[in-house]
Amino acid sequence: MIEQDIEDIKEQINSVLDTLNRKTALKIIGEILEEYDLKTASNIVKADCDVMLHKQMFEENFYSEGNEEAGFIRLKEILDAVEEIINLDDYISDNIHFEYFVKPMTDEEAEDEGHSDGVEWWTKDESIDIDKVYIQFEGN
């Protein structure tokens, strides 16, 4: 398919969608995306949500000195955007929130809590504050 064909099809679809209100048009687009097994994209479109997880968010956090191909960003910013996307899914009844890090319990901790042997148990990792963790990324 050549570029002009794509533009013509896009124009035809837009002319149909322009006859509808925004909410209805986005619902139709979302349903089409879902038929193509693009569930996450469908949820975002149907909710008319502009999730703040995009490349510009990272570009704004590149180092200004030293290695200009790398940067850092607060992990919670990324997790907040992921929460927003996950919680758009109408098949999930509970809202998902990332609150803290966890670590495997030691055998002693599991025993103190009365947990059975042979099962890996998890506990909150008090040594790391999720709001103060930054991750480094590189661009090329």
Between 92 and 136, where is the model more confident?
Answer: 136
Largest CA distance in the chain: 69
What pLDDT is stored for residue 100 in this prediction? 93
- φ, ψ dihedrals at 69, nearest 5°: -95, 5
Q: Give the model confidence (pLDDT) of 53-98 as tens digits.
A: 877 777 777 766 665 567 788 899 899 999 999 999 877 778 999 9
Residue with tokens 């398919």: 1
Q: How far is CA 76 from CA 53, 96, 98, in A?
A: 12, 14, 8
Over residues 33-43, the mean pLDDT reads 94
Mean of pLDDT over the chain: 87
The model's pTM is 0.72
